[in-house]
Structure 1
Amino acid sequence: QYAAVIPAFVTSILNDEQPTIYGDGTQSRDFTYIENILHAYMLAIEVDKTCGQSINVACGSNTNLLTIVEKINQCLGKNVQPKFAAPRAGDVKHSTADISAAKKLLGFEPVVHFEEGLKHTIEYFASQTK
């Protein structure tokens, strides 16, 4: 469920509810903002050698869940602490995308880094609650 963890955390903190972290919160993922995906698509349209290729698109760095909660709180001026639940069976502790093919084949570099994308996401969700 980490694909939707950022919207879930933002929504919880906006509502002064504790977001749930499964495990200790040090697990990390390579989150990326939608503009990076669109940027890669636009690059791929221009490059013939990408046909049939599997290419990972992300930021190429990971962020842990505790840091995400901290950054959301900072952006919203809140101090909502997460609640912790038992780790989920089979959960991968750390996951970072290998974006070397995207760099080599497309000339891809992320255009929106994690913190900027998180800020945009928080602003969007905050605007929807008004």
Structure 2
Amino acid sequence: MNTVLESYLATWNAGDDATRSQLLGEHWAETASYIDPLAEAVGRDAVGATIAAVRGQFPGFVFSLVGEPDAHHRQVRFQWGLGPANAEPVVIGFDVVTTDDAGRIDQVLGFLDRVPG
């Protein structure tokens, strides 16, 4: 699952549409879904648009792993942070990622633990 997490964070941290699209194509199932309290997206294009919108809202910020992930079978749960590189995260969330039979990201269920006011 370490590879899944690396691919997941790389997709969220991709600064341009072409790189993000490539990562989505390589590591996400075609019908992947992403759901959190603020967004619901189904399919690679919709997930990519959601990621682009978040990156537009927080330019220059990076997603990073917070703590240790916990995985079993085809799922992993982990806490992440979003903020300036090498600084305290401004946003902290918790995601559960499942994979399909080919090991691609299939579903993401996200929760927001700390959001700026």
Task: Report if TM-score (shorter chain) is over 0.5.
Answer: no
Q: TM-score with structure 1 length normalisation?
A: 0.28
Compare CA radii of gyration and give the structure with the larger one: 1
Structure with more of its chain in helix, by fraction: 1
Q: TM-score with structure 2 length normalisation?
A: 0.30
Structure with the greater relative contact order (CA < 8 A, sep ≥ 6): 1 or 2? Answer: 1
